[in-house]
Chain A
């Protein structure tokens, strides 16, 4: 009898614990600081578990600082971030970096974490950076940069500094970089008797070659050029026509004759020249098809892409090379990359900054190259022989193109509203790519939707 009551009491205690635990996480808004504390405590508990068995180590874990860091990407990305973190840990005892790898929906996850007050200490962000910085969720880094005496512009270039600054404050140090270049199928050019693309090519040269490379039917059908609706694949032509998306004050200036010219170029690829696969044609290659995968099958002559694209070409049975992207009125290309930022709720901003400083410096950036992950943002590493001889591809390609292209990039309009604007752009421009909506109408709709909020 007594035993039974004891059991009931015990179970009751467990239930009470459950309620307490749940209601704690229910009050997310008020628990902002408590939440991040909880994460850290949990993390350091895991850390101390690792050090178990050594009595003295267990004692010193009281001083161990755990810094959490989030990123997205492929398994190569995951491996590379971890290796760089290990390198930092090995030279900085007492600091442990906990990685939070988000293979999908990373912006949504981050939004939820920021809303719940459990944001990672270090957050890797790309074009979405100012959606966070403008809401005061990230820490301005200028004071830390000054204190550490770093010349960020010399390290990663002025464009990268501008991209990751908002309202005159720097919020992120560029981590990965690179720019859009043109990949082309040499065999297709040879078979058609065409000269290979060169750095001084213009739109007309590309169109001329693309028309020759397009033809065939069924499984033999080929296209000269490939694109889809991702932002660099339309914004670049606007910048090449002398247009812009936002001005220095952050006002929307996309609705201009220059933009119409750039978007007309995109549209005529389908409606006039018919040299790019339509979305229906891509769908025949499977649900994950895009210009890159179809190029890798030897069915597209030229595609603009980034350094990471080499990994998709490791076992193709044709010869290819890279060249600077062709130009329009202006010879510019799209920058790629990401930056490391620190969240406002970080408990140890000094240590977090030391980590991102270390990670964007030469030694840690070389790991990005060694693992063939991506183009490093660090200009010194990008221009190094290690980068050129890293073995990005076993094909004989002009790898120096990436270093030269990094000087051709425009500053992307990564404002506070990037996420919502990108959605609107993509919605409205889909018809331009398909040839069903004329560029001026699309731009009018974009302007209307953005100004209406």
Chain B
């Protein structure tokens, strides 16, 4: 009996490896190998054409001495901070609002989710027009007597324009929060109401704690994604009307849009400094790792899981 079971287990294990093998093989070939290769290349001056030579830590030293890199880090942090904070607040606000039994709330939910389905490239092209110096946004501001900035053409306003554009696509976070809201048992609110709580207290002491795991997930994904912001920056920055746009520098006016991944792309795929670009990639990985770890470590303080309740 025992022997037979062991044999069955062995066969099950074999099947396990068999079914998981496409993923493992794919991971090894398409993720692990390129990652290890890029780690190696970050210590070389490989340019895609000639086999590079080993240069030790030169790429990293050069990177940490380059003004452009710190500019890119600043821009990326600026974008990530405001995007994550604003998208978290806004998506929570919208989700709570559309969880009330309003008339036509299904239509509104759809409306808020639809922008997520628009490819980033398309929305970037669209917003280039929306934020044109005499575009709809500035026309609306002009109605209130405000003379709007030149947005993407201004060093000061290019990043805010990018953030507003990205906030248009907060549908994914919103949908997750909405399903989280629908999972909160009504008894909790009932009990609170019997105790005489107000709407704010319900939101503060029931809704937010119950949603905190979803918020946590949104924040982590938001940070990881926004630190890697690229597509929007690339599309806007390489528009031929942008300074340096026609040659793919793509950093916007005064490099005020240049993100870390955009810099990586320029160095790697325009200047063919693959070793240098690999070094940027690894520094970015470390930055993302640090932020993600900080969020994870701090999560115990502000997320609430029912199962953990003692």
Q: A residues engaging B (CB < 8 A)?
A: 8, 11-12, 15, 18-19, 22-23, 26, 29, 108, 111-112, 114-115, 135, 137, 228-230, 279-284, 286-287, 289-290, 420, 422-423, 426-427, 430-431, 434
Contacts and interface: CB of A to CB of B under 8 A. Distances in A.
B31 to A, nearest CB: 12
28 contacts: A8-B18, A11-B18, A18-B25, A19-B25, A19-B29, A23-B29, A108-B270, A137-B49, A228-B240, A230-B246, A279-B242, A282-B241, A283-B128, A283-B135, A283-B153, A283-B241, A284-B132, A284-B134, A284-B135, A287-B239, A287-B241, A290-B241, A423-B244, A423-B271, A426-B246, A426-B247, A426-B249, A427-B243
Given A11-B18, A289-B241, A434-B243, A26 B129 contact: no
Contacts of A26: 29, 33
B300 interface: no
B49 A283 contact: no
B48 interface: yes
B247 A423 contact: yes
Interface in B106-162: 125, 128-129, 132-135, 150, 152-153
A423 B49 contact: no
Contacts of A228: 240-241, 246
Contacts of B153: 279-280, 283
User: Which of A11, A112, A280 has the most CB atoms of chain B within a 10 A radius of its CB?
Assistant: A280
B194 interface: no
A205 B207 CA distance: 72
Nearest to A115: B48
B185 interface: no
A287 B128 contact: yes
Nearest to A430: B243
A22 B29 contact: yes
Interface of B is mostly: loop
Nearest to A218: B134
Contacts of A112: 48
A281 B134 CA distance: 8
Interface string B243-281: 110111100000000000000000001111000000000
A12 B19 CA distance: 11
Given A112-B48, A230-B246, A279-B243, A287 B270 contact: no
Nearest to A29: B51
A22 B241 CA distance: 41
B104 interface: no
B249 A423 contact: yes
Given A283-B135, A284-B134, 13 more contacts: A15-B22, A23-B29, A108-B269, A111-B272, A114-B49, A115-B48, A137-B49, A228-B246, A287-B129, A287-B239, A287-B241, A427-B244, A430-B243
B53 interface: no
B21 interface: yes
Contacts of B135: 283-284
7 tightest Cβ-Cβ pairs between the two chains A and B: A430-B243, A426-B247, A287-B128, A423-B247, A115-B48, A284-B134, A280-B133
A284 B133 contact: yes
